Structure 1
């Protein structure tokens, strides 16, 4: 199942990030992402966006990555739950390397550290998954870890 999860994650550029505010009101949003080791999902966002504000209030998140180009009945997807946060200063270089590897693989320009620190309007975020599932051919979620 890990190979299937890797294949899905490598073939898709966006994940749907599900967050909730302090009162529990849900919010879902697509974010362009990069991933390391099927466990760490990294994206760039503005701290003033609703999903970023929700993460500041409540770190628990869920995410889904699915291929919308597949015919009905042939869907493949990765689902995860875990904790999200703005990447701490002492981990920026490492997380930015993950994100930029994804950018370069997609033909996008890499981000400079100054674009996600200091007075820059964006920040680097990450979600570390505690559980990950893959949707199988019977449309059942099969646990990867």
Structure 2
């Protein structure tokens, strides 16, 4: 299967959107999903700002593996265009914090400087580093996929 078209579409989806759905789990595996405003640095590094008291942040502290979906919520039903990602997330500190805030504040619509996102401020900067990108197989329909043999929707790895 030629994934080139999917990869172009995946990059366009990430470029055109500003909210991602961030899926986390607590230490017992209970899931939590949150929409967060993101700024991407390429297609494998995503930055956002959250309160250190937010559920997703507390979950990341004990279980840094996260799931991310970026999609256009205004798309027509059935178009199925989304980028699914597995990633590792963390709070930024030191030089990583400086770099993350430089990227984030260059594109985020906030009138605050970097000092607002350092202790003792009420928000912190976070990063998700993607370990895998995938998209729905374009062959997924009521007919079996000639490549994967499945009838139901299924994902294929893409390299963004």
Query: Do they superpose with TM above 0.5?
Result: yes
Taking the aligned partners of 1:62 and 1:68, their CA distance within structure 2 comes to 18
Equivalent-residue separation in structure 2 for 1:102 and 1:81 (angstroms)? 24
The offset of 1:111, in angstroms, is 4.0
Q: Which residue is 2:81 aligned to?
A: 76
- Taking structure 1 as reference, are residues 40 and 124 closer, same or farther at Cα in structure 2, changes over 3 Å only? same
Q: Is 1:4–1:134's contact at 8 Å kept on the other side of the alignment? A: no
The answer (yes or no) to whether the contact 1:67–1:75 under 8 Å persists in 2 is no
Q: 1:143 maps to which residue?
A: 157
CA radius of gyration, larger in: 2
Instruction: Give the structure-1-normalised TM-score.
Output: 0.89
Q: Unmatched 5+ residue regions in structure 1?
A: none
Question: For 2:28, what is the secondary structure of its paired residue?
Answer: coil
Supply the distance in 2 between the matched residues of 1:111 and 1:8 (Cα, whole angstroms): 27
Decide which moves more: 44-53 or 111-120.
Answer: 111-120
Displacement after TM superposition at 1:135 (Å): 3.1
Asked if the contact 1:117/1:123 (under 8 Å) is kept, the reply is yes
Distance 1:21 1:77 in 2: 25
Cα distance between partner residues in 2 of 1:17 and 1:92: 20
1:1-145 maps to which residues of 2 (within 5 A)?
1-103=6-108, 108-109=109-110, 111-139=112-140, 140-145=154-159
The 4+ residue runs of structure 1 with deviation greater than 6 A are: none
2: distance between equivalents of 1:141 and 1:111?
39
Question: Where does structure 2 lack aligned partners over 5 or more consecutive residues?
Answer: 1-5, 141-153
Q: Which has the higher mean CA deviation after the structures are superposed, 116-125 or 67-76?
A: 67-76
Q: Distance in 1 between matches of 2:85 and 2:112?
A: 26
Alignment TM-score, normalising by the size of structure 2: 0.81
Is the contact between residue 42 and residue 127 of structure 1 (CA under 8 Å) also seen in structure 2? yes
Answer yes or no: is the 8 Å Cα contact 1:34–1:99 preserved in 2. yes
